[in-house]
Amino acid sequence: MAQPEEKLSLDQVFQLVDKLSPPDQEKLRKRLSERSWGDRWDKLVQKVQEQSKGLPEITEEEVADEVMAYRREQKARRAQSGR
């Protein structure tokens, strides 16, 4: 028969982490950071999708045209300011 799973408190987890070697602590830090970054990215994508509902679709060509227009504007501004 399986043993019931023991619950750990956050303080117990911290104590266990303190017992890890510095390289293992760094691995844990990176893994937690990757997860939180992924979660933030997913939330950002979801927010953009929600906010863009009802807006007309934009093609890759239209995006490229906008980028090129912006670059031309920036180049003209730099030329005017003498950079």
List pLDDT tens digits, range 52-79: 999 998 899 999 999 999 999 999 999 9
* Cβ neighbours for 28, distance < 8 A, ≥ 6 positions apart: 17, 20
Average pLDDT for 1-13: 83
Burial (Cβ within 10 Å: 0-12, 13-18, ≥19) of residue 62: exposed
Work out the pLDDT band at 1, boundaries 50, 70, 90. low
Q: What is the pLDDT of residues 30-58, one digit of tens each?
A: 988 888 888 999 999 999 999 999 999 88
39 contacts 47 by C-beta, under 8 angstroms = no
Residue 4: pLDDT band with limits 50, 70, 90: confident
Does the pTM surpass 0.85? The reply is: no
